Chain A
Amino acid sequence: MSIKAAVISQIQQIAEEMGTRKDLPPLTDDLPLTDSGLDSLAIAILVARLEDTLGVDPFTESSESFYPVNLGDFIRFYENAAR
């Protein structure tokens, strides 16, 4: 599974668990994370689950502090960390 597919599948899974799956907007690269229906807690869970599935947490491993705004930024942050 590509990193992008892993991220999207986890977002859908978390939205499912939180009962917000039906409110999930189309997960396009230019979707602001704050408009994704995922609150801070959901994004935190996403980061933890991705660490378990992809074996990487770029937020703690990166020496630069970076807070992605769009879903595309978020996915690229993971893709760069996995290289």
Chain B
Amino acid sequence: MPPDNSTSIRRKIGNASDCPRRFLWGSTASVSLGDLLRGTSFGGRLRELSGRSALLACRDQFAAALALVELDGVVGRVIICPPDLPSEHLSTVIAKGGVDAIVSDHGLNDDGHLGVALRTVCSFANAPEKGERLEHGSTEWVLLTSGTTGAPKMLIHNLRSLTGAIDSSLNQEADVVWGTFYDIRRFGGLQIFLRALWGHGSFVLSSADEPLGDHLLRLGAHGATHISGTPSHWRRVLMSPQARALTPRYIRLSGEIADQAILNALRSFYPQAGVSHAFASTEAGVAFAVNDGLEGFPASMVGAPGEVEMKIENGSLRIRSARTALGYAGAGNGTLTDKEGFVDTGDMVERRGDRYYFLGRRNGVVNIGGLKVYPEEVEAVINRHPAVRMSVVWPRRNAITGSLVAADVVLKGAPDPSRASSQIADWKREILQICRESLAAHKVPATIRCVPALEIAAAGKLARHHA
């Protein structure tokens, strides 16, 4: 591990002499790292944030990226709001994170009910921060990921854990341009952002409002060489007429199961590129990357000593390394690791021959293009329909997004025999309507079946299957 991993981002990139030639490119704005180091997003107010627990709640990803670089090393803790955090969870996040300052690129209009007195608006200007930069020391980074009941889990990292997987001997060429389909406010995107900053290259940010074709053209125009996304992102790329705008040297897949079909398709479409699929999660950090072009991973990796140790227990993959999260922010989430320090990833694997293959997630958790959906959250909404006795939500395999949300529903009573099929169709439509009103689009069931009964496991709970 490089010895300077505990430094701040500014110290890390400030030591490099190539900053004027390196860029962060957003969809509507860009900045050289040289200008980024000279300028400020805080117009003289950075000192107020020193040592605080700051919630970074920006609408614009580019603004968030610039603020993050400046906040690291100054605030005691930065809690990074992902772009789609439902506003009803904000107060929980603030309480659990001990937030005493909110940094945003817009005036948060909450009538003060969030109870955080210090509000700081960030807006980048190419002018030096007034006054001395008050370094607090190592900043805790809190990343959000989906939780069982809809409220997010909050995982604490630091720069050491987040950058522990970055091999300082790789991807150091001056012409490396990183790009990602992720948002940097999620673990997968943040990894790529940090890789760009840690090396000698530049970085092309994604933008939620930008059509994929425009994003691909922009990546191509900036000469992106190292590009990361989920298998679902990459399937979408291959279905785009602008896929040829990319000429990557390195393709990285993570966030969901990389199947052989997408690995083969990428290898044949971009023959000049190395294709790697990585296993990483907000909880477990970056565990490993597989570079042999085959799905799954070699069985020899399990039980082997090294920076990252892996074991399989009750069918799920467990990871121990200095790159895992340090714990949960706030009380009531249980413990992250077992007694030996292993994080249970919840990803079920099966050994066939000399390789392990991913089967899906335990407890019926549905991974849709890298977004996890806990079935309980969707079932609770379906069960609000007056005709529904009970329901079970399960992951339906899908070649485009890996999985989809599917629902089996047991009705309270038989429909009216004279118009059974139209009544069932009406009920299904109403269930979907309720779901659409209360859930994000990817959580709404793609398909609903009416079934006579649901399987109940020995402990009296609904039986859940991982695939």
Question: Is B truly associated with A?
Answer: yes
Docked-complex contact A68 and B404, CB < 8 angstroms: no
**A and B contact pairs by CB, cutoff 8 A, 28 listed:** A17-B432, A17-B436, A32-B241, A34-B211, A34-B240, A34-B241, A40-B232, A40-B233, A40-B236, A40-B401, A41-B441, A43-B239, A43-B400, A44-B368, A44-B399, A44-B446, A48-B396, A48-B398, A48-B446, A59-B399, A59-B400, A60-B397, A65-B260, A65-B261, A65-B264, A65-B265, A67-B238, A69-B240
Which residues on the B side are within 8 Å of A44 (C-beta)? Answer: 368-369, 398-401, 404, 446
B residues 412-458 near A (Cβ < 8 Å) are 432, 436, 441-442, 446-447
> With A and B bound together, what is the CA distance between A45 and B448 in angstroms?
12
Docked-complex contact B399 and A40, CB < 8 angstroms: no
With an 8 A cutoff between CB atoms, is A5 at the interface?
no
> With A and B bound together, what is the CA distance between A57 and B447 in angstroms?
15
With an 8 A cutoff between CB atoms, is B235 at the interface?
yes
Q: How many residues of B contact A (CB 8 A)?
A: 35
Which residues on the A side are within 8 Å of B264 (C-beta)? Answer: 65
With an 8 A cutoff between CB atoms, is A23 at the interface?
no
- Taken residue by residue from 75 to 93, chain B's Cβ proximity to chain A (1 for < 8 Å, 0 otherwise) reads as 0000000000000000000
Ranked 8 nearest A-B pairs via Cβ: A59-B399, A65-B261, A67-B238, A44-B400, A65-B265, A44-B401, A45-B446, A34-B240
Which residues on the B side are within 8 Å of A17 (C-beta)? Answer: 432, 436
Q: Which residue of A lies closest to B396 (CB)?
A: A48
With an 8 A cutoff between CB atoms, is B212 at the interface?
yes
Interface residues on A, range: 20 to 34
With an 8 A cutoff between CB atoms, is B213 at the interface?
yes
* B→A interface (CB under 8 Å): 211-213, 232-233, 235-236, 238-243, 260-262, 264-265, 268, 368-369, 396-401, 404, 406, 432, 436, 441-442, 446-447
> With A and B bound together, what is the CA distance between A59 and B259 in angstroms?
12
* A→B interface (CB under 8 Å): 17-18, 32-35, 40-41, 43-45, 47-49, 52, 57, 59-60, 65-69
Which residues on the A side are within 8 Å of B441 (C-beta)? Answer: 18, 41
> With A and B bound together, what is the CA distance between A43 and B446 in angstroms?
11
Contacts A35-B213, A40-B236, A52-B447 supplied; 6 other A-B pairs, CB < 8 Å: A34-B242, A40-B232, A41-B369, A43-B400, A44-B404, A45-B446
Q: How far is the CB of A79 from chain B (nearest CB, A)?
A: 17
Docked-complex contact A41 and B447, CB < 8 angstroms: no
Q: How far is the CB of A26 from chain B (nearest CB, A)?
A: 17
Residue in A48, A67, A69 whose CB lies within 8 Å of B404: A48
